């Protein structure tokens, strides 16, 4: 592929750098990666049976190189949230962030959701996943839902607005900053076309503004991972130095810079910094959200007793007719919040309608009624196409693929009416 001449000149000028080997990587296809969802029971066994024993990505426990395997987004296991397509080197940043139970974590620039879904697999944290662009925020929410996570709040705000509301609240933050995308040239040729020294410089300025907001959001004693998918020192090492210089209590602990001629990946930069101030008791948010009326929570409880084998605990909150189970510790009032937690369903006209997100969150054994089909079965494909299925139960139940929930159906008279969302159907 054709690369910007000024970009090549800059890379050629790096010391102790094998430019020829670097340039040759652009003659081969981009590396494709798959990251398994550890929250899915028996996931690795199912994945291996379907696609073989793929080579692992060395810096990510659940990461694999796709290689020549025919793995597509139309596969039922993708719909079931068993895996996420992610460029291998991009998996390194989230792995650097040390997580502990009870952490309040912020993914500040989160869409489309690679790092969010990587972090959220730790069910013992509460994660706020923010994206400023509404269209990208919808994609982020869809990926969180597909992967079946209930510990994520998706927000659609500027970093500055988050800093106003959540000042000093998060003890772990990841900043996967918008960048010039030099590590994405093969995957996204438009990034190469848009590249210029001026664009790199403007990205660095924008990144520092985001960093400044992140520092306001960080609680004393916390940790930050700053990352990009570019090679520019002005966007990478110089911004890491900016953090230490501007906020002297921050200390770099580890840095990873992945080049495509050194590792099997397209390129990424990530640095872990620790806040060396004395850690304070992070008691969470100032203020609480208004809980759902007992009427709405009661409608869900009735549904739960009738159709589920589990009982969910937590804060029930209403957004319009929508009932959510919100992770604790973080209020959402006054913040644009497309997904304030796990969407349980809608409450209207005295009845409860379960949300697709609830089916994706639950384990296959959690449903009182279900049908289970194999990944190659025609009935699995029919369900994902939106067709009705045969079944012998009445009311709501789940359609499973090899034990993994795909979504809801509703039985009546020997027919299971399809409740798979129309926008997700494979036509």
Phi and psi at residue 241, to the nearest 5°: -65, -35
For domain 365-427, the CATH architecture is Roll (2.30)
Coil, helix or strand at residue 259: coil
The β-bridge relationship of strands 415-418 and 389-390 is: antiparallel
Give the pLDDT of residue 97.
98
For residue 231, the tally of other CB atoms under 10 A from its CB is 25
SS3 percent helix, strand, coil of the chain, rounded to 5, is 35, 25, 40
CA separation (Å) from 394 to 158, 299, 389, 415? 46, 18, 13, 9
Q: Please state, in angstroms and rounded to a whole number, the distance separating the CA atoms of residues 391 and 214.
A: 51
Q: Please state, in angstroms and rounded to a whole number, the distance separating the CA atoms of residues 146 and 406.
A: 9
| 229 annotated active-site | yes
Give the pLDDT of residue 1.
80
Give the pLDDT of residue 180.
97
Contact assessment for residue 363 and residue 336, using Cβ atoms and an 8 Å cutoff = no
Q: Write down the pTM of the prediction.
A: 0.95
172: burial class by Cβ within 10 Å (0-12, 13-18, 19+)? Answer: buried
Domain range list for the chain: 5-30+86-275, 365-427
Cis previous bond, 112, omega within 30: yes
Give the pLDDT of residue 284.
47
> Both tokens of residue 146?
């597909």
Residues 386, 323, 396, CA angle at the centre, nearest 5°? Answer: 40
Q: Please state, in angstroms and rounded to a whole number, the distance separating the CA atoms of residues 426 and 381.
A: 8
Give the pLDDT of residue 281.
66
**CATH code for residues 5-30+86-275:** 3.40.50.150
Give the pLDDT of residue 290.
67
Give the pLDDT of residue 5.
96
Contact assessment for residue 327 and residue 317, using Cβ atoms and an 8 Å cutoff = no
DSSP class per residue in 324-367: EEEPTT---TTS--SB-SEEEEEEETTEEEE-HHHHHHS-GGGB
- Beta strands across the sheet bearing 389-390: 370-373, 395-401, 404-412, 415-418, 389-390
Beta bridge partners, 130, equal 155
Could you state, in chain order, the average pLDDT of each consecutive group of 10 residues for the chain (427 residues)?
94 95 95 95 94 96 93 96 97 98 97 98 96 97 98 98 96 98 93 96 98 98 98 98 98 98 97 93 56 83 97 91 91 93 94 97 98 97 97 97 98 97 93
Give the pLDDT of residue 183.
96
Which helix (H) or strand (E) element contains residue 208? Answer: helix 197-217
Catalytic residue among 60, 109, 179, 229: 229
Q: Please state, in angstroms and rounded to a whole number, the distance separating the CA atoms of residues 163 and 155.
A: 13
Q: Please state, in angstroms and rounded to a whole number, the distance separating the CA atoms of residues 190 and 154.
A: 28
């Amino acid at each position: 592929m054709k690369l910007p001449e000024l970009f090549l000149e800059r890379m050629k000028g790096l010391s102790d750098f094998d430019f020829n080997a670097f340039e040759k990587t652009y003659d081969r296809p981009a590396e494709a990666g798959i990251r398994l969802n550890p929250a899915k029971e028996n996931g690795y066994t199912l994945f291996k049976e379907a696609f073989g024993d793929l080579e692992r990505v060395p810096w990510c426990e659940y990461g694999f190189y796709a290689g020549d395997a025919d793995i597509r987004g139309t596969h039922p296991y993708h719909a079931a949230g068993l895996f996420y397509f992610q460029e291998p080197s991009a998996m390194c940043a989230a792995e650097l962030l040390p997580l502990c139970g009870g952490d309040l974590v912020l993914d500040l620039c989160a869409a489309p959701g690679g790092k969010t879904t990587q972090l959220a697999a730790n069910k013992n944290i509460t994660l706020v996943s923010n994206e400023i662009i509404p269209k990208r925020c919808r994609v982020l929410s869809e990926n969180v839902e597909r992967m079946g996570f209930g510990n994520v709040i998706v927000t659609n705000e500027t970093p500055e607005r988050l800093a106003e509301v959540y000042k000093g609240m998060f003890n772990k933050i990841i900043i996967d900053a918008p960048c010039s995308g030099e590590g994405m040239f093969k995957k996204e040729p438009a990034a190469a076309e848009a590249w210029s020294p001026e664009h790199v410089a403007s990205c660095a300025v924008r990144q520092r503004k985001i960093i400044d907001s992140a520092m306001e959001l960080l609680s004393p004693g916390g940790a930050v991972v700053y990352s990009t998918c570019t090679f520019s020192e002005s966007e990478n090492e110089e911004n890491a130095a900016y953090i230490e210089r501007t906020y002297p209590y921050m200390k770099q602990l580890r840095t990873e810079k992945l080049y495509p001629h050194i590792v099997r990946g397209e390129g990424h930069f990530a640095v872990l910094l620790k806040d060396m101030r004395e850690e304070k008791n992070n008691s969470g948010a100032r203020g609480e959200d208004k809980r759902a009326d007992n009427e709405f929570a009661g409608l869900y409880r009735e549904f739960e007793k009738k159709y589920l084998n589990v009982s969910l605990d937590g804060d029930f909150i209403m957004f319009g007719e929508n009932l959510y189970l919100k992770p604790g510790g973080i209020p959402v009032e006054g913040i644009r919040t497309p997904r304030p937690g796990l969407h349980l369903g809608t409450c209207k006209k005295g009845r409860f309608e379960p949300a697709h997100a609830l089916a994706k969150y639950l384990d296959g054994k959690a449903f009182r009624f279900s049908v289970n089909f194999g990944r190659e079965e025609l009935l699995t494909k029919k369900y994902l196409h939106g067709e009705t299925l045969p079944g012998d139960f009445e009311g709501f139940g789940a359609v499973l693929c090899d034990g993994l929930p795909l979504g809801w159906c509703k039985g009546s008279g020997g027919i299971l009416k399809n409740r798979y969302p129309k926008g997700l159907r494979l036509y």
